Amino acid sequence: MNAGERLTDANFPAHPEKATLEGKNKFLGFWLFLGGETVLFATLFGTYLGLRNMHLDGPSGEELFSLPLVFLATMLLLTSSLTSVYAVLSLKQNKVRSLQGWFLVTLLLGLGFLGLEIYEFIHYVHEGHTFTSSAFGSAFYTLVGFHGAHVLFGILWITTLLARNWNRGITLSNAPKYYLFALYWHFVDVVWVFIFTVVYLMGKVG
């Protein structure tokens, strides 16, 4: 069977994302990539933790951070993680329209999160907390910015993926791509769990 062919309910495999060797390879390779990303973010977290009290004359995290805003951002990203797992459920049932719908919701929630983050950064800069103002500033924007860049990349990724496959069904070639995006998006949320805990909540108690 051609990997680009639309799957029917009759020939639909139990794990369309891993039904071909290419899919198996992508699945495993992406998981390993996420293992590497764990180390990448850990290095950023370590740097932040080492430097987080070095705010010099500028405002400290305790003075800056606004918990309601962070809570809202957290809810947006958490919900987007749920909608992407719903999309994966639709993938397993060969329901392409529902898959597209859930990923669209994910995309919108991701955009909302990104908007909040940009608003937050602009606000901080006005408060005198900039990238170059202190070691704390550099470490904060690098860690949170790296996460934001991941969100942005995810948005570009799912937009391209949805646009390219809008008029196609689920195939053995695009099923792994949808699945991998969902993994990526969950991972972005995993990182955020530690960011709101370590950066914002721990920042509030000094």
Partner 1 sequence: MATHESHKKRSGLMDWLTTVDHKKIGILYLLAGGFFFLIGGLEAVLMRIQLMEPDSKIFTGELYNQLLTMHGTTMIFLAAMPIIFGFMNAIVPLQLGARDVAFPYVNAVGFWLFFFGGVLLNLSWFLGGAPEAGWTAYAPLSTVAEDTGVDFYVLGLQIAGAGTLAGGINFLVTIINMRAPGMTFMRMPLFTWASFVTSGLILFAFPALTVGFFLLMFERVFDANFFNPDMGGNILIWEHIFWIFGHPEVYILILPAFGIISEVISTFSNKRLFGYSAMVFATVLIGFLGFMVWVHHMFTVGLGPVANSIFAVATMAIAIPTGVKIFNWIFTMWGGQIRFSTAMLFAVGFVPTFVMGGVTGVMLSVPAADYQYHDSYFVVAHFHYVIVGGLILGLFSGLYYWYPRMFNRVLNETLGKWNFWLFFIGFHLTFFPQHWLGLMGMPRRVYTYMSGQELDGANFVSTIGAILMGAGTIVLLINIIISASSKYATTKDPWDGRTLEWSMPVPTPEYNFAQTPLVRGLDALYVEKTAGNGEMTPAEPVGEIHMPNGSILPFILSLGMFIAGFGFIYSNWYVAGAGLGLVLITMFLRSIIDDHGYHIHKEEVEADIKGGRA
Partner 2 sequence: MANHTQNPETTVHRHEEIQRKLALKEERKHHNVSFVMMILLTIVAFFAIWSDKISDSFAVLFILTLAVVQVFFQLYVWMHLSHKGHDFPIWGMASGILVAAITVASLMGLIWTS
Write down the least CB distance from residue 39 to partner 1, Å. Answer: 4
Q: Does 6 bind partner 1 (CB under 8 A)?
A: no
- Give the CB-side neighbour count of residue 85, counting CA atoms within 13 A: 8
Q: Does 32 bind partner 1 (CB under 8 A)?
A: yes
Which residue, 65 or 141, has its beta carbon nearer to partner 2? 65
Binds partner 1 (CB under 8 A): choice among 13, 15, 47, 169: 47
Closest CA to 186 of 104, 72, 110: 110
Which residue, 29 or 115, has its beta carbon nearer to partner 2? 29
Binds partner 1 (CB under 8 A): choice among 9, 36, 97, 206: 36
Which residue, 132 or 167, has its beta carbon nearer to partner 1? 132
> What's the sign of the alpha-carbon dihedral 202, 124, 52, 206?
negative
Write down the least CB distance from residue 78 to partner 1, Å. Answer: 25
Residue 161 parent element (H or E)? helix 135-164
Site for partner 2 in 31-50 (CB under 8 A): 31-32, 34-39, 41-43, 45-47, 49-50
Classified as helix, coil or strand, 174 is coil
> What's the sign of the alpha-carbon dihedral 194, 199, 204, 206?
positive
DSSP state of 201: I
Q: How far is residue 28's CA from residue 49's CA, in Å, rounded to a whole number?
A: 31
Q: Quickly tell me which residue has 């051609």 as its tokens.
A: 2
Q: What is the binding site for partner 1 (CB under 8 A)?
A: 2-4, 21, 24-25, 28-29, 32-33, 35-37, 39-40, 43-44, 46-47, 50-51, 54-56, 131-132, 134-139, 142, 156, 160-161, 164, 173
